[in-house]
Structure 1
Amino acid sequence: MSEVKSVAVVGCNIGRSHIAEGYAPRPERWRLAAVCDLNQERLDKVADEFSFESRTTSFDELLVRDDIDVIDLCTPPATHFELVTKALAAGKHVVCEKPLVGSLRDVDLMQEAEAGSGRILMPVFQYRYGDGAQKAKRIIDAGIAGKPYLGTVETHWKRTATYYEVPWRGKWETELGGVLMTHAIHIHDMLTYLMGPVSKLFARAVTRVNAIEVEDCVAASLEMASGALVASSATLGSQNEISRLRLCFENVTFESAGAAYSPGDDPWTILPANDAVAARIDALLADYQPVGRRFLGQMDAFHEALNGRGPVPVTVADARQALELATAFYHSAQTGADIALPIGPEHPKYASWRPNGH
């Protein structure tokens, strides 16, 4: 098995960040085999910048190439299901931006497609990657933090009408949701990554900032499976942009630094309950090795998995948990009810969380 994996990136908006942060800095791990975009000007700009071996406007052209190991999908959300299905069927490993698909039904079909393909489908949750979040994860997993008590998570960003000039944004049919789906999904993934699954939630969601179909302000109360309580809020009308977690455990309180697009980065505030806990943390982290941040960290871990040296860093099951939480948010906001998780095929929103008619 070759150590170097060849990758084709599809979609040159966020795809450029995947290349610049995750692939281009590691030429000993990744070969930039092809780049694809429907917009020729955007395609040529990225292909020239990173010296891709080939460029194309045809996704299907990539599927028949034997020299491509990985297809990285950075296309609008509503296209993911079809493109992921085709890529897996063609024998490619797949990286896919969030949200993975538009319903729990579709994500369950994705799990079946992945299992049948013998390939890996890795959803993107790059905000997990940063030394602050990774140190917190190690402390929690080691049992040092103790019982989780309470958390607050905030995604307070700013998006103006200019952002929604892109035709697929702000619409149920093509973006699949608003601030909850395309922005706060990251912080909610980090919450469950560190504090475990959600068992119940109540949410309100409204549109107050921009003239769009989907929500841009959300507030919710969550009960975790552990019994801990969490308050979550998200808006696209904040005059300063922050992504922040504050998680209170029995023996440690964690607080992220608040960087909007890299909340996993150091420095996190890690407050131990006493000197004995502090000593345990110091001992645990004595051999800590820094990870790459954002896409670099996730793609480094993905490369290890492809070469059989580690687990897949983000799985389809992780994406399902994030989409299950989003489904519960939308169902609660649409019905005014407290929603219990997990959510299975019998749930009225299993096939789609979008309002009727979408």
Structure 2
Amino acid sequence: MSKIWNVAVVGLGIGRTHIFEGYSRHPDKFKVVTVCDLDAGRRSAVAAEFNVPHQTDSFADVLAMPDVDIIDVCTPPGLHFDQTLAALKAGKHVVCEKPLVGSLAEVDALIEAEKTYGRTILPIFQYRYGNGVQRAKRIIDLGIAGKPYLGTVETSWWRTADYYAVPWRGKWETELGGVLVTHAIHNHDMLMYLMGDVEQIFARAATRVNEIEVEDCVSASLKLKSGAFASLSATLGSTRQISRLRLCFENVTFESGLEPYRPGDDPWQIIAATAEVQAQIDDALKGWQHVPTRFDGLFADYAPGLVTGKLPITLMDARRALELVTAIYQSDADNRPVDLPVGPESPRYHSWRPAAARATVLAEAP
């Protein structure tokens, strides 16, 4: 019998979704033994709904629980780095919602902490899971799609003042960013997952929809390392919510569906250039096994990854996503293209947040 991993879920907003879509569907792999939230009513409701035996409002209590193998961090983004590091030090594996942390320096610190404490961190990129995106991934990885030409990614969602009534939202210090960090990051990860790494970015960001500190509109032009181009657009001012990826390759064009929060699901259109290419695609997808969507699929892969040490999503994946974020903010601030990779020499390496970034530049000035 395989090991059943005991999980503590901290933060029961999106954390409840982790339980409902993920852990509860894999009782042979996971057992949620503790839930933690400052809201007593929400905490009690989730514990009762999923028959969780213990509940607390103290993160310190969770760290001290000897029967907890995994701490799932679903708290506001500004808490992620400190809580994730504390969990590693306590000997726990960690699952952490997006954005993982608030800078490339913090990602790099966690990469070293994984090695130091001998525990793993699973960053959350659940949109990679679903039959549509995974069929596309197989076709690309087999070389059938050929040379990448052009990609477009749209994250057109709708958020009003009611959404930002939650005190930590819309603020640099606690949410760490806006549409780029909290909403579009999943779709941008999917672009790189399917088309590869980014070489250069030119971007614009603005706050046009809501009266908040952070951006809610972004447009970016990308050159990929393959030589392909891509364009990103993201807004929280679309009265019709969609997520859409359109990826043009030499032999195949892929078009996702429009469902905003399940872009990896079918239906995806896979449009072959010729009958010969279509025959290759048909052969590649023969006997296709269903890929569960979102957290269901991600956590199905997570448990065996804990045993083998090969997680389905790694800190390097999170670093790539946050490197894109860093470069977009830097390009907008400096009004110029930014080359990737982004390292410690970047003025945004220690923080992409405007005030913190300016402080870093001043501190390092001769």
Superposition TM-score, scaled by structure 1 size: 0.98
Distance 1:252 1:357 in 2: 44
Distance 1:205 1:63 in 2: 38
Give per-residue Cα distances to partners, 1:18-55, cap 9 Å, x unaligned. Answer: 00000112211111111001111111111111110100
Amino acid at match of 2:342: I
Displacement of 1:118: 1.3
Residues 1-358 of structure 1 correspond to what in structure 2 (within 5 A)?
Answer: 2-308=2-308, 311-356=310-355
Distance 1:83 1:288 in 2: 39
Distance 1:46 1:346 in 2: 45
Displacement of 1:357: 5.1
Distance 2:280 2:310 in 1: 26
CA contact (8 A) 2:218 2:233 kept: yes
Distance 2:69 2:274 in 1: 50
1:356 partner SS: helix
Amino acid at match of 1:318: D
Distance 1:119 1:106 in 2: 17
- How many residue pairs end up in the alignment? 357
1:152 partner SS: strand
Distance 1:302 1:26 in 2: 11
Distance 1:112 1:287 in 2: 41
Displacement of 1:174: 0.5
Distance 1:110 1:348 in 2: 20
Displacement of 1:287: 2.5
1:111 partner SS: helix
Distance 2:285 2:67 in 1: 41
Q: Give ranges in structure 2 of 5+ residues lacking alignment.
A: 358-366
Distance 1:172 1:137 in 2: 34
Moved more, 295-304 or 60-69: 60-69
Distance 1:119 1:293 in 2: 26
Displacement of 1:2: 4.8
Distance 1:275 1:89 in 2: 56
CA contact (8 A) 2:127 2:294 kept: yes
Give per-residue Cα distances to partners, 1:94-145, cap 9 Å, x unaligned. Answer: 0000000000000000100111121110000000111100010111011110
Q: 1:269 to 1:48 in 2, by over 3 A?
A: same
Give per-residue Cα distances to partners, 1:212-267, cap 9 Å, x unaligned. Answer: 00100111110001010011100000011111100000000000001100100011
Amino acid at match of 1:243: S
Distance 1:298 1:116 in 2: 26
1:98 partner SS: coil
Give per-residue Cα distances to partners, 1:278-316, cap 9 Å, x unaligned. Answer: 1111111113211110001101100111232x8311100
Distance 2:279 2:304 in 1: 32
Distance 2:116 2:179 in 1: 33
Q: Where does structure 1 differ by over 2 angstroms across 4 or more consecutive aligned residues?
A: none
Distance 1:333 1:263 in 2: 27
Amino acid at match of 1:148: P
Amino acid at match of 1:35: V
CA contact (8 A) 2:221 2:229 kept: yes
Amino acid at match of 2:231: A
The CA RMSD measured in Å over matched residues stands at 1.1
Distance 1:301 1:289 in 2: 14
Displacement of 1:356: 2.0
2:355 partner SS: coil
Amino acid at match of 1:276: E
Distance 1:144 1:170 in 2: 43
Distance 2:20 2:233 in 1: 31
Amino acid at match of 1:322: A
Superposition TM-score, scaled by structure 2 size: 0.96
Distance 1:154 1:188 in 2: 9
Q: 1:318 to 1:357 in 2, by over 3 A?
A: closer
